[in-house]
Structure 1
Amino acid sequence: MITFILNNKTIKTPEHSGMTLLDFVRYHQRLTGTKIGCREGDCGACTLLVGELKNNTIEYQSITSCISPLGNAHGKHIVTIEGTNLKDKLTTQQEAMKANYATQCGFCTPGFVVALTGFALSNSNKNYSNAIDAISGNICRCTGYKAIEKAAHQVVEKLENQEENSFNWLIENEFIPEYFESIPKRLKDIEIKDLNQPKGKYVSGGTDLYVQQADHLADNNVHLIAEKDYLKGIKIENEICTIGTNATVSDLWNHTQLNSILPNLKKHLKLVSSEQIRNMASLGGNLVNASPIGDMTILFLALNSNITILNSEEKERSLALKNFYQGYKTYDLKNDELLKSIQFKLPTENSFFNFEKVCKRTHLDIASVNSAIHLSIENDKIFEAHVSIGGVAAIPKYLHETSAFLIGKPLASETIIEANQILQNEISPISDVRGTSDYKRLLGRQLFFAHFTTLFPKQFTLNDFVQHA
């Protein structure tokens, strides 16, 4: 039985674990404040909060419930817009939306309110930038976004007076209802057993599979792996970072040590989808999606990562990620195998890493072209180089020849211009809805140059390259 707390009610249901959480909430529980919009995780109208016990405290994150399997709610606290309501008065978030005229037709409003509630409950710094990140996955088509941003600012102003990050303070200041205080104990008291799962399609976060196959997954067996502990965690040991494939982008975002080693990591990750999707999507899922423009795949390729693969007999094998992809949406993985972890050597003080992406909008958009680079420099010479690029080939592309050419060369504009010529010979973009092949070649060139102008701004400007390119 799938067991969880939905708002203030304990749920035990035999429903199919592959159905979407959105459909269960609306059609089985009649909580229709959670809206159906795009069914692709794109609009945020179906945003819910998921609270999970970790080290005797409960952590909340926002998700889009239209692409989340019901079974992933097992053992957690699920909060809909109805579950955020106070008795006979508006919450601080609702009042802020009202005071700033931040709603018109109202269809998107529940999602915004839930996302702002998640922001209030989160451990992130309570500043305006983080508040805007929290609603980056919510779209409004009629109000005008500035009014909503003003509402977020009003929420931040009240949170700035927070004496401690506690349920008591949030309850007293009308951010959440009183029942939230009882949830940690109630979750501890629920006897949570592993779901008895049949063999079926492996599903972790579901953010890609449920966009494509939601109806199929709702009717057929799924094997949910998001809560498998052996696929979780981020470990740094002996200068090697090992990341479980169930880790999410948000796990990287919140990892203090990794952010100190890669100081621009949050800046790069901000280009990956929206907060709701970053909270859900597994890194392993991004790799096996095998999209030629997968953001995290491109990032891990440039870090020259290896992957560990586990089969049904618990035997492991290791493979360089750059050798994993064999063709469009095909890769070196057998039917009984799972990606277990991703490993890469940590950058040193002589290392430089950068990620670039061009897309039509900042959040929740796939790239026209994306690229990453990892260089190690000594005495103005490149002694290690790894370059990757997406959107210009049938697979997420590790640029073997370009990377090899850079090694041993001086860090100079002539080297970079010549390397671009090799890059252009390695890629084979096609014209599609994201741009013509010529446009993608131009983007490939510009992003490659942008790596160097970003990493070495005192040495290079874009004019150093373009006038000779």
Structure 2
Amino acid sequence: MITFILNNKTIKTSEHSGTTLLDFVRYQQRLTGTKIGCREGDCGACTLLVGTRHGDIIEYQSITSCISPLGNAHGKHIVTVEGTNLKDKLTTTQEAMKANYATQCGFCTPGFVVALTGFALSNSDKNYTNAIDAISGNICRCTGYKAIEKAAHQVVKKLDNNTNSTFNWLIENQFIPEYFKNIPQRLKDIEAKDLNQPKGKYVSGGTDLYVQQADHLADNAVHLIAEKEYLKGINIKNGICTIGTNATVSDLWNHTELNSILPNLKKHLKLVSSEQIRNMASLGGNLVNASPIGDMTIFFLSLNSNITILNSAEKERTIALKNFYKGYKTYDLKDDELLKSIQFKLPTEQSFFNFEKVCKRTHLDIASVNSAIHLSIENKTISEAHVSIGGVAAIPKYLHETSAFLVDKPLTFDTIIEANQILQNEISPISDVRGTTDYKRLLGRQLFFAHFTTLFPKQFTLNDFVQHA
């Protein structure tokens, strides 16, 4: 039986674990402040908070409930906008929205309130940039976003960069109701054991599957794996990073050591979806989705990653990610197999990594073309090269020939120009809603050049490549 705390109420339900959390909250519990908008995780109207217990501490993250399976709430604290309410007064976040006239029709407002409350509860630095990131997955169609930004600024001012925002402090300052301080013990008392699950479709975060198959998953058996410990964690040892496939983009974002090794990591990851989706979507799910433009797939391809695959008999095999994809949405994975982990060699002082993406809007959008590169340089010569690109083939594309050509070549303008010619022969874009064939070829070239102008700005400038074009 699925057991969790919904706001201040303990829930025990035998509802199908593949039902969306949104539908359970609205239709079973009649908490209609959580809105139905896009049902694709795009608009943020259905934003909820999920509190997960780590010892005596609860960590809260925002998610879009329209693409989250109910079973993933098991053992958690789920907070809707109603669960943030104080008795007979507005919370600090609600007051900020009101004071700055940051609502008009009101449809999007609950999502913004919940997301900003989640920001107040989070461990992130309480600054304006992080507040805006927290609402990056919330869309308002009628008010004008500046008023909402002003409300976020007011929330930040009230927090005053108080990184020790304990439940007591947040309660005293009217960010959350008093019942929150009892949640850690109440979750501990629940001691939710693993759900007894039938054999069914493996689902982790569900962020892609529920966009495509929500009704099917609500009616058929699912096997939820998001809380499987053997699929979690980020481990760095002897220059190798091993990431469990249940890890999320937010796990990478918050990993201190990985950010010190890849100083632009957060800049790259900010181009990936929204904070709500980054909190939910598993990296393994991104890989087996096999989208030709999967951001994290392109990211890991350029790091020349290996993947470890586990079968139902607990036997493992390891293959190169660049050999995993066989054709459009097809890959080397049997029905009883799961991706267990991703491994790659960490960049060194002599190596360079970059990720680029072009889409119709800067954030929370699918790429027209994306690309990543990892180079090692010794004595002004390229000693190792791995280039990947998405949106220009039926699969997430590792550029075997381009990468091989760059090895042992001098890091010069002529090398890059010649490599681009090889790149153009390796890709085969088609025209679709994200651009024509010619446009995607142009983007492929420009992103390839951008890697070098970004990584080696003293050696290469945009004008060099513009003049050549």
Q: TM-score, normalised by structure 2?
A: 0.99
Structure 1 pair 444–163 and aligned structure 2 pair: CA distance change class (3 A): closer
Deviations 1:106-159 (A, max 9, x none): 000000000000000000010100000000000000000000000000000111
Q: Aligned AA for 2:171?
A: I
What residue number does 1:452 align with?
A: 452
Q: Within 1, Cα distance between the matches of 2:465 and 2:153?
A: 42
In the alignment, is the contact (CA less than 8 A) between 2:124 and 2:163 conserved in 1? no
Give, in whole Å, the separation in 2 of the partners of 1:124 and 1:363. Answer: 20
Provide the C-alpha distance between the structure 1 equivalents of 2:195 and 2:468, rounded to a whole number of angstroms: 61
Provide the secondary structure at the position in 2 that maps to 1:40.
Answer: coil
Letter in 1 for 2:381: K
> Are residues 1:157 and 2:162 paired?
no
CA distance in 1, matches of 2:214, 2:430: 29
Aligned-pair RMSD on alpha carbons?
0.7
SS of residue in 2 equivalent to 1:422? helix
Secondary structure of 2:405's counterpart equals: helix
Equivalent residue of 2:96, what SS? helix
Aligned residue for 2:349? 349
Q: C-alpha separation between the residues in 2 aligned to 1:365 and 1:381?
A: 36
Q: Is the 8 A contact 1:163 1:169 kept in 2?
A: no
- Name the residue aligned to 2:331: 331
C-alpha separation in 1, matches of 2:117 and 2:456:
40
Q: CA deviation at 1:363?
A: 1.8
Match of 2:52 in 1: 52
Moved over 4 A (4+): none
Matched residue, 1:359: 359
Quote the offset at 1:234 in angstroms: 0.3
Counterpart AA for 2:407? I
Identify the residue that residue 187 of structure 2 maps to in structure 1. Answer: 187
Question: Separation in 2 of the partners of 1:12 and 1:168?
Answer: 28
> Could you tell me how far 1:99 is from its partner in structure 2?
0.4
Match of 2:396 in 1: 396
Distance (Å, rounded) in 2 between the aligned partners of 1:74 and 1:436: 45
Matched residues in 2 for 1:328 and 1:68: separation?
26
- Number of equivalences: 469
Quote the Cα distance in structure 2 between the aligned partners of 1:287 and 1:163.
35
Counterpart in the other structure of 1:232: 232
Q: Deviations over 1:177-215 (max 9, x none)?
A: 000000001000113111000000000000000000000
Is the CA contact (8 Å cut-off) linking 1:162 and 1:169 kept in structure 2? no
- Deviation of 1:6 after TM superposition, in Å, equals 0.3
Partners of 2:323 and 2:222 lie apart in 1 by 28
- 2:125–2:163 contact (8 Å) kept in structure 1: no
3-state SS of paired residue (2:460): coil
Q: Which residue of 2 aligns with 1:217?
A: 217
What is the CA–CA distance in structure 2 between the aligned matches of 1:358 and 1:125, rounded to whole Å?
29
Q: Distance in 1 between matches of 2:406 and 2:193?
A: 53
- The residue aligned with 2:275 is 275
- 5+ residue gaps, structure 2, are none
Q: CA deviation at 1:162?
A: 2.9
Q: CA deviation at 1:467?
A: 1.9
Cα distance in 2, alignment partners of residues 463 and 317 from structure 1: 47
Q: Distance in 1 between matches of 2:332 and 2:239?
A: 27
Q: Tell me, what secondary structure is at the counterpart of 1:252?
A: helix
Q: Name the residue aligned to 2:426.
A: 426
Residue 231 of structure 1 deviates from its aligned partner by 0.3
Task: Please tell me the residue identity of whatever aligns with 1:81.
Answer: V
**d(CA) in 2 for partners of 1:109 and 1:262?**
36
Does the 8 A contact of 2:241 with 2:345 survive in 1?
yes
CA distance in 2 between partners of 1:444 and 1:466 (Å) = 14
Task: Give the direction of change, closer, same or farther, for the CA distance of 1:405–1:160 in structure 2 (3 Å limit).
Answer: same
**C-alpha distance in 2, partners of 1:361/1:159?**
30
- Aligned counterparts, 1:16-27, within 5 A: 16-27=16-27
Residue 163 of structure 1 deviates from its aligned partner by 7.1
2:405 partner amino acid = F
Deviation per residue, 1:388-420 (Å, 9 max, x gap):
000000000000000000000111101000000
**Shift, 1:55, TM fit:** 3.4
> How much does 1:464 deviate?
1.3
Is 1:94 the counterpart of 2:91? The answer is: no
Q: CA separation in 2, counterparts of 1:460 and 1:364?
A: 30
Mapped to 2, the partners of 1:193 and 1:164 lie a distance apart of: 31
Q: For residue 148 of structure 2, what is the aligned residue in structure 1?
A: 148
Which structure 1 segments of 5+ residues have no match? none
3-state DSSP class of the match of 2:156? Answer: helix
Q: Is contact 1:85-1:91 (8 Å) kept?
A: yes
Alignment correspondent of 2:11: 11
Q: How much has 1:161 moved relative to structure 2?
A: 5.8
Contact 2:126 2:162 in 1 (8 A): no
Q: 1-side partners of 2:451 and 2:163: how far apart?
A: 42
Secondary structure of the residue that 1:467 maps to in structure 2?
helix
Question: Shift in Å at residue 463 of structure 1?
Answer: 1.7
Query: Following superposition of structure 1 onto structure 2, how do residues 120-135 of structure 1 map, counting pairs within 5 Å?
Result: 120-135=120-135
Q: Which amino acid aligns with 2:425?
A: N
The offset of 1:347, in angstroms, is 0.5
Report the alpha carbon displacement of residue 165 of structure 1 after superposing the two structures with TM.
Answer: 2.1
Q: What is the distance in 2 between the residues matched to 1:219 and 1:197?
A: 14
| Distance 1:169-1:392 versus aligned 2 partners, 3 A rule | same
1:379 deviation in Å? 1.1
Shift of 1:175: 0.4
**Cross-structure match for 1:116:** 116
The amino acid that maps onto 1:39 is R
One-letter amino acid matched to 2:270 = K
Aligned counterpart, 2:384: 384
SS at match of 1:126: coil
Aligned to 2:71, the other structure's residue is in SS state helix
Q: Which residue of 1 aligns with 2:38?
A: 38
SS in 2 for 1:370: strand
Query: Structure 2 CA distance, aligned partners of 1:54 and 1:296?
Result: 27
Q: How do 1:197-216 residues align onto structure 2 when only pairs under 5 Å count?
A: 197-216=197-216
Partner of 2:315: 315
Instruction: Give a deviation string over 1:420-442, Cα, whole Å, max 9, x none.
Output: 00000000000000000000000
* Matches of 2:191 and 2:234, distance apart in 1: 27
